[in-house]
Structure 1
Amino acid sequence: MKVVVTTIGSLGDVHPCIALGLELKRRGHEVVIATSEFYRPKIVSTGLGFHSIGPKHLSPEDPELLSSIMDPKQGPENFIRKLLMPHMRGVYDDLLAACNGAKFLITGELVFAAPLVAERLGIGWASLVLAPWQFLSAHDPSIIGPLPLFAFIRGAGVTVNRAMKGLARKQTKSWAEPIYGLRKELGLSAASHPMFEDKNSPYLNLAMFSSAFAKPQVDWPDHTKTVGFAFYDRQNPASGLTDEVRDFLQNGEPPIIFTLGSTAVMNPGSFYTEGKRAAEQLGRRALLLTGKGSPGISGSRDHMVTAYAPYSEIFPYAAVVVHQGGIGTTAQAMRAGCPQFVVPHAFDQPDNAARIKRLGLGLSLRKDRFHAPHAAEQLRKVLGDEKIRAKATQARTFVEKENGAIAAADAVESACR
């Protein structure tokens, strides 16, 4: 059968879709990934089908755009209300074409037109939930921003958190006017809220994270299945470690690895300069993954700078991974069994950072406080804490037993019967 997997976002959104798509293809299904044109070379190189969807003007490598959507206060509104929603008609048309002949549609959270396409075509669909914060549970509340207020609200109890969710739902209802208008234009059924109830499939919701990271809650949507993390981290199927990076990792004490994933890395600020200084103050080796841009960091014998390396191949060598808290990076660090030090920027990152700390897997520090002396002090705590290392090892054992791509493919096939 033909299955379309669609998403809008960063590599952290795209990689799990590729992992699931490859597993479905292995089982004999025709798989098309529908996402930004930017990712065409990566997806085509895997042998999966590709179909471009909008918004056409969004580039994952536009620093000005990324700075706007990662703003701690206005980021979500800038991204959803101003950049995504006005273009949902175009996304709908693109996705409708991609789904020609499809029997099932699997969609990421931000493709708000996907439920409309499934309803118009009369096909089943599943929603992808890559991080726990997307559920907005009142029983396991998400931290939705980096400020202390959000952590305080989380601890205020079920009633308060349920009320906060209701308030957020009310305040963002106007953001979705383009979806309401499109439904009316297409003659589809009346909707509730595309960013809340309507984003959850009535058939299957795939929680593609480990139950070691977040336990199922009573207020999660019906038909939710926790399948575990789904991993893919190649630039292309033939890519891997360079000899230079491999030699650095294998010859010397375990380094501190600094990375900002694929989005925050486009606007790193002083993260790499302060991180390198912190490593120098500790007398530790470091590997810094700085992306395509140059943050003005020069390497040395003990401090290697490189654009990219597959996390699955470098994290097992790490003494600690210092990262932005994206769910993909978090998952790879858990699978590698290494301690984590998180400097969250936006979106799910503050919530992921808080979960890492609560689970005993590491510590976190606000972005505006990430300066070498303070960072070195916190890193020293992580490096010297045997409890954190033991918890990280336990997490690795748990995550290694899961296979999110296989479990998700099983669930999709079951939903199609």
Structure 2
Amino acid sequence: MARVVLCAWGSYGDLFPYIGIALELKRRGHRPLLAHSEFYRTLVEGLGLEFHAVPPDIDPQDKAFIALALSTQGPKVLFSRIAASVRESYAAIDAACGDADLVVTHPATPAAPLVAQKRGLPWVSTVLAPISFLSAYELPLFPPYWLAHLYRRLGPGFAGAIVKAGKWTTTRWVAPVQALRAELGLPPAPNPIFDGQFSPLRTLALFPRVLAEPQPDWPANVDRTGFVSYSGPDEMPTPLVEFLDAGPPPVVFTLGTSAVGLPGTFFEESAKACELAGVRGVLLVGRYDAERPTNLPSGVIAVDYAPHAELFPRAAAIVHQCGMGTLSQALRAGKPQLAVPFANDQPDNADRVNRLGVARVCYPGRYGSSRVAAHLRELLDRAQYGTSAKAIGLTVSREDGATAACNALEEVLRSSIRRPS
């Protein structure tokens, strides 16, 4: 069977979909290999999957890294860091592809397409969120948000000019990638942050289909697989199970796997909001002892982590940062949501679930107990939120992203020959 090298980079949320795909590939008899930062080796190998370390290495629990990733300059600094390490990344991925039949790329692995093209291997690109398509017909939400809404109202012609400006502005960020491409003797290609990341063979959109319809300026050969549901190897903590069994469904508060490292007063305000709204609460506080809230009111429990796929269906509502993994599990659970987006794709994701009628939005700077309690009462008391969330949950729960993604990969394997792509 086929050797499939899956390349990814970033947080746990960036890794989990590829673990889900790799596990399904292995179940089908293929030989998947995950290429990612050394930090994740123990997790991946513990699942019985092969792993190959690729720089730049990161510690997703490092607070300096989290602060950088969530800052307004985060995309620029992170992509510049990735580009600066492209030669080391290329060498590592090339070593991993010695017996590869297919390469799968992540939006932040610009060295991977170079390896595939140089080796003449078929490759399939992936995106985790609609923002990666940067469509002028459905312009993503970005700061300043009021201006982005104005650009949308001016139509795709004007929005297209904004898109072009963004692509031009970021050209300098990835200059080392384009320089390496030229040295390898590969033909010129568009900006690897945008059009250059997409394979001519297939692009897998690994997010729930309800979040975005195909647009005229999407790349060719996009396959909307739906969400790949994998939320880690952790089990539900016994105290949490006992808490859930002892009363009505609680509101779950989580900041995913990144923002949880710098929560500010999020958990304290959340606990107070539960008191004000008259609801029970579950706080997923991460493994940062310094950030663990104290003196919680009765009816509120704090635990490090719980698998979202098991916890969310037992919630009354879910308050989260709108990372795609957390958001997708919340949609699948069919629960109303309060979106608290921090940065990167999160504001656009929040805007999309708000437009679906299943969520309200509260930005971190406005996150206080009184406001959050009011949002929660709206979400729980207005039937339209629960009705819409349940209907969309049924739709999303029918998706099997891992199966659809592996079907697409096998189709590419069957139809491809080893030639420069």
Q: TM-score, normalised by structure 2?
A: 0.95
Q: 1:216-254: per-residue Cα shift (whole Å, max 9, x none)?
A: 1121100111010001112x3xx3112211111121111
Contact map agreement 1:145 1:346 (CA 8 A) in 2: no
Q: Does residue 370 of structure 2 align to residue 369 of structure 1?
A: no
1:117 to 110, 115, 118: 115
Q: Does residue 69 of structure 2 align to residue 69 of structure 1?
A: yes
**Aligned twin of 2:127:** 129
Displacement, 1:147?
A: 3.4
Whole-angstrom distance in 2 between the partners of 1:221 and 1:339 = 32
Contact map agreement 2:273 2:370 (CA 8 A) in 1: yes
Letter in 2 for 1:343: V
Whole-angstrom distance in 2 between the partners of 1:214 and 1:354 = 12
SS in 2 for 1:225: strand
Map 1:140-155; keep pairs closer than 5 Å.
140-145=138-143, 147-155=145-153
Displacement, 1:154?
A: 2.9
Whole-angstrom distance in 2 between the partners of 1:184 and 1:214 = 35
**Aligned twin of 1:331:** 328
Gaps of 5+ in 2: 415-421
Q: 1:63-120: per-residue Cα shift (whole Å, max 9, x none)?
A: 112111211x212112112x22111111111111111100100011000111100011
Contact map agreement 2:7 2:35 (CA 8 A) in 1: yes
Contact map agreement 2:128 2:324 (CA 8 A) in 1: yes
**Aligned twin of 1:104:** 102
Q: 1:162-202: per-residue Cα shift (whole Å, max 9, x none)?
A: 11100001111111110111112222222221111110000
Whole-angstrom distance in 1 between the partners of 2:400 and 2:59 = 31
Displacement, 1:145?
A: 3.5
Whole-angstrom distance in 2 between the partners of 1:60 and 1:19 = 19
Q: Does residue 293 of structure 2 align to residue 297 of structure 1?
A: yes
Contact map agreement 2:61 2:258 (CA 8 A) in 1: yes
Whole-angstrom distance in 2 between the partners of 1:291 and 1:99 = 35
Contact map agreement 1:145 1:347 (CA 8 A) in 2: no
Contact map agreement 2:285 2:292 (CA 8 A) in 1: no
The CA RMSD over aligned residues, in Å, is 1.2
Displacement, 1:300?
A: 4.8
**Aligned twin of 1:78:** 77
Displacement, 1:150?
A: 2.4
1:243 to 238, 246, 252: 238
Map 1:16-27; keep pairs closer than 5 Å.
16-27=17-28
Whole-angstrom distance in 2 between the partners of 1:210 and 1:230 = 9
Map 1:6-405; keep pairs closer than 5 Å.
6-56=7-57, 58-71=58-71, 73-81=72-80, 83-145=81-143, 147-234=145-232, 236=233, 239-294=234-289, 295-298=291-294, 299-405=296-402
Displacement, 1:146?
A: 6.4
Letter in 2 for 1:69: A
Letter in 1 for 2:43: K
Contact map agreement 1:285 1:303 (CA 8 A) in 2: yes
Runs of 4+ in 1 over 3 A off after TM superposition: none
Q: Residues 413 and 216 from structure 1, CA distance in 2 versus in 1: closer, same or farther, beyond 3 angstroms?
A: same
SS in 2 for 1:172: helix
Displacement, 1:211?
A: 1.6
SS in 1 for 2:353: helix
Q: TM-score, normalised by structure 1?
A: 0.96
Letter in 2 for 1:162: G
Whole-angstrom distance in 2 between the partners of 1:256 and 1:347 = 25
Letter in 1 for 2:73: Q
Whole-angstrom distance in 2 between the partners of 1:50 and 1:300 = 44
SS in 1 for 2:209: coil
Gaps of 5+ in 1: none
Displacement, 1:301?
A: 3.7
Give aligned pairs, total.
411
SS in 2 for 1:154: helix
Whole-angstrom distance in 2 between the partners of 1:322 and 1:297 = 17
Letter in 2 for 1:383: L
Whole-angstrom distance in 2 between the partners of 1:155 and 1:321 = 31
Whole-angstrom distance in 1 between the partners of 2:297 and 2:364 = 26
Whole-angstrom distance in 1 between the partners of 2:257 and 2:203 = 26
Whole-angstrom distance in 2 between the partners of 1:96 and 1:74 = 30
Contact map agreement 1:146 1:345 (CA 8 A) in 2: no
Percentage of identical aligned residues: 38
